[in-house]
């Protein structure tokens, strides 16, 4: 839970703006608050406004707008350098903080007009080494489905439906646990999910998904579920406690099914199953990259383009297909 009473007013105003006008999710707001609180604590040390060096003990509420107005690009660079040297932050973590700082100062200068100059206007994002996403190949995906469809497991209908949806629809973990029964339209074979930034999108369900969900619902609909703060009575997937299934429980299910399939669960995760769905659709379904973007709920096409990677066999086949290969 955010402790906004410990924030300066301008930070809380930014968080309110991000919630109401930018429609950012609660998780994004938490990240903004965490990143900016750390930044302000660093500025307090950097400007000699405190002798305390323990970040946990440093307060930010007393950091005035006059102090914010003194911040320049070099100060921000110093903070990013501190993250790299002292915190051993990964480039992706630093990139996120840079993005947060840019949005924050843009708000202060252009929206709230609390400062005249934007010190982050020319702030660059740390260069990230693009890595190909890990994913299961087709054969390993089939092994995982077989492991999930083990009737010795009393929850096998639920677990099989979860794995099937991950591998066929490419949902995020948060999207899967948030599915309500009423979100599924069996007439049109589609469902609605809430993605990043509370954005709603439509997911079309293939025959495998419809069958798996239907078989699970025949069990789910016999369970008497009380309404609670999680709206468990509406939830598609339930835990053994008859509550909306948690992210951790789903992660555990995926972990155990990967192990049962003879796959290394330390190498894969629910998000890797999302990578798998995207990769298989692109490689075998000849899916247009923009259709894949819509399906996955990516704001930018550049995020989706990482799934256009090719595997080693495709590279080998490309070389072998060269008309000069047999000369």
Our answer to whether residue 298 is catalytic in this structure is yes
* Active-site annotation holder among 94, 97, 244, 298: 298
156 is catalytic: no
Is the distance from CB of 242 to CB of 232 less than 8 angstroms?
yes
Cα distances from 183 to residues 18, 186, 203, 206, in angstroms, run 27, 10, 10, 16
First to last CA, the chain: 68
Give the active site residue among 42, 216, 282, 307: 307
Angle of helix 270-285 relative to helix 138-148, nearest 10 degrees? 130
Is 271 labeled as catalytic in the residue annotation? yes
Q: Which helix (H) or strand (E) holds 274?
A: helix 270-285
- 274 given a catalytic annotation: yes
Strand partners, 238: 244
Catalytic residue among 41, 94, 97, 274: 274
C-alpha distances in angstroms, 315 versus 14, 252, 309, 311? 48, 35, 10, 7
Which candidate in 172, 220, 257, 275 is catalytic?
A: 172
Active-site residue (options: 201, 271, 272, 309): 271
Catalytic residue among 196, 234, 242, 272: 196
Active-site positions read 172, 196, 271, 274, 298, 307
């Amino acid at each position: 839970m955010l402790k906004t009473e410990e924030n300066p007013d301008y930070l809380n105003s930014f968080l309110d703006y991000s919630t109401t006008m930018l429609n950012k999710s609660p998780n994004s707001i938490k990240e903004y608050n965490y990143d900016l609180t750390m930044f302000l604590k660093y500025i307090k040390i950097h400007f000699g406004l405190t002798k305390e060096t323990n970040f946990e003990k440093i307060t930010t509420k007393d950091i005035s707008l006059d102090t914010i107005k003194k911040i320049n690009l070099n100060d921000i660079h110093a903070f990013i350098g501190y993250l790299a040297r002292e915190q051993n932050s990964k480039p992706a973590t630093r990139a996120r903080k840079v993005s947060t700082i840019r949005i924050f100062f843009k708000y202060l200068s252009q929206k709230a007009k609390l400062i005249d100059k934007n010190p982050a206007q020319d702030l660059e994002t740390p260069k990230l080494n693009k890595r190909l996403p890990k994913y299961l190949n087709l054969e390993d995906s089939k092994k995982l489905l077989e492991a999930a469809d083990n009737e010795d497991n009393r929850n096998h209908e639920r677990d099989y439906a979860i794995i099937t949806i991950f591998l066929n629809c490419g949902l995020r973990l948060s999207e899967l646990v948030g599915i309500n029964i009423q979100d599924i339209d069996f007439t049109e074979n589609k469902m609605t999910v809430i993605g990043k930034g509370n954005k709603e999108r439509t997911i079309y369900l293939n025959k495998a998904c419809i069958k798996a969900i239907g078989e699970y619902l025949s069990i789910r609909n016999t369970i008497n579920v009380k309404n609670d703060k999680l709206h468990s009575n509406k939830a598609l997937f339930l835990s053994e406690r008859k509550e909306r299934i948690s992210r951790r429980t789903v992660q555990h299910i995926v972990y155990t099914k990967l192990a049962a399939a003879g796959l290394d669960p330390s190498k894969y995760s629910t998000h890797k199953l999302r990578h798998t769905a995207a990769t298989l659709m692109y490689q075998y379904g000849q899916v247009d990259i923009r259709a894949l973007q819509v399906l996955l709920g990516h704001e930018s096409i550049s995020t989706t383009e990482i799934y256009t990677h090719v595997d080693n066999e495709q590279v080998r086949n490309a070389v072998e297909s060269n008309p000069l290969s047999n000369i």
